[in-house]
Amino acid sequence: MYNNVTHKELLNLLSMDNREREDTIHKGKCRNIVDRIIESIRYRQQPKMKEKGLRIIIVVIVRDCIEGDLENEVFDRLIGCPEIMEHGYILEDWDVENRFQKFWDWYNTILENEMKAIHVKKLSIKLFRDLLYEETENLLWTEVNELLIQIEYQNRCDVFTQEGENTWKRYVSKVRQRFIDTKQFTREPEDPESDSPESYELEYSDGSIHYEVKIEDNVEWTVELLKRKIEEMGGRFTDKDIQRMWDLFIRIELILTEDFLGTFFELMGLSYEKLKDEINEWLTKETLICGICRNRKLPDMISDIGQCKICEQKELL
């Protein structure tokens, strides 16, 4: 159900040009309007989508369906979109570019000793995009490190010296912190916390029933299905442990290996935070990243030329 506020704010949104919408989607005019639209609607069911996801979708609908007359295309793109299913929202290319620009401008201000970031490889945008989806506490040191490696520099610090290595580590930790402080480059670190309601955030009531779905290689996964597969492998874990595996945000393909389950079995007495640290260390030490899809794989899933079997299959087709 909507009311006259919805109607009025929708007209306001239509009166803005696209550039202005894109520039102020996270902060300022567009965000305020869209927040009022979201709040003015009565929902029969709480939206299963994150607030920032709803914001972007409203802007996309206004731009493409109402102004661009592309209703069917947008419908196809939004409904069943794996990114929405997995993360609760989508990132539009313009949004990623705007945020990357913010990152880039800032990044050059922290580099020391004449070092300068001069060129962005295509892969770094992809890595950056992936990082935008990471929930703050899951932001891994290794992933940030990979992003920085994929940038070309002038006067790059020499990481084979102790001093250079320390400098590099400093950059990685500063960038990681910046992601957190700016909420993935959507706000300035000094901005006060947003006062818009958080009620659209995905939330699960008591931890017993989970409708959460992950799409991986076109397979739809639920905690239930994961549990069944683990049992088929002969693994015996409680529901709570299986939920903890799920919450580690690592690929199901990796979870369903003797290596992972064995490691998890040894570590499962630890607190959640400790467990996550240990598993991250395991990922760094025991897995490799496929050069094509960038997914972490066990070494025996990766060929000599550094790509995984799934990517190899795709190339053959």
**Contact status, residue 157 vs residue 164, Cβ threshold 8 Å:** yes
**Residue 296 buriedness (CB in 10 A; 0-12 / 13-18 / 19+):** buried
Which range, of 81-89, 202-210, 268-276, 286-294, touches Zn ion by CB under 5 A?
A: 286-294
Q: Taking the complex as a whole, how short is the minimal distance between the CB of residue 214 and Zn ion, in angstroms?
A: 17
Q: Taking the complex as a whole, how short is the minimal distance between the CB of residue 124 and Zn ion, in angstroms?
A: 18
| Residue 311 in the binding site for Zn ion (CB under 5 A) | yes
Q: Taking the complex as a whole, how short is the minimal distance between the CB of residue 263 and Zn ion, in angstroms?
A: 22
- Which residue in the set 157, 248, 290, 302 belongs to the binding site for Zn ion (CB under 5 A)? 290
**Contact status, residue 30 vs residue 13, Cβ threshold 8 Å:** yes
CA 247 to CA 272: how far, in whole Å?
A: 10
| Residue 41 in the binding site for Zn ion (CB under 5 A) | no
Encoded one letter per residue, x for contact with Zn ion by CB under 5 A and - for no contact, window 259-278 reads: --------------------
| Residue 34 in the binding site for Zn ion (CB under 5 A) | no
Encoded one letter per residue, x for contact with Zn ion by CB under 5 A and - for no contact, window 218-257 reads: ----------------------------------------
| Residue 144 in the binding site for Zn ion (CB under 5 A) | no
Q: Taking the complex as a whole, how short is the minimal distance between the CB of residue 213 and Zn ion, in angstroms?
A: 22
Check residue 60 and give left, alpha or beta (phi > 0: left; psi -120 to 50: alpha). alpha
Residue located via tokens 């159900």 = 1
| Residue 301 in the binding site for Zn ion (CB under 5 A) | no
Which range, of 76-84, 122-130, 189-197, 282-290, touches Zn ion by CB under 5 A?
A: 282-290
Q: Which is nearer to Zn ion, 222 or 257 (CB)?
A: 257
Q: Taking the complex as a whole, how short is the minimal distance between the CB of residue 292 and Zn ion, in angstroms?
A: 4
Q: Taking the complex as a whole, how short is the minimal distance between the CB of residue 287 and Zn ion, in angstroms?
A: 12
Q: 227 Cβ partners below 8 Å, 6+ apart?
A: 237, 239, 242
Q: Taking the complex as a whole, how short is the minimal distance between the CB of residue 306 and Zn ion, in angstroms?
A: 9
Which range, of 105-113, 186-194, 277-285, 304-312, touches Zn ion by CB under 5 A?
A: 304-312
Which residues are near Zn ion by CB under 5 A?
Answer: 290, 292-293, 308, 311
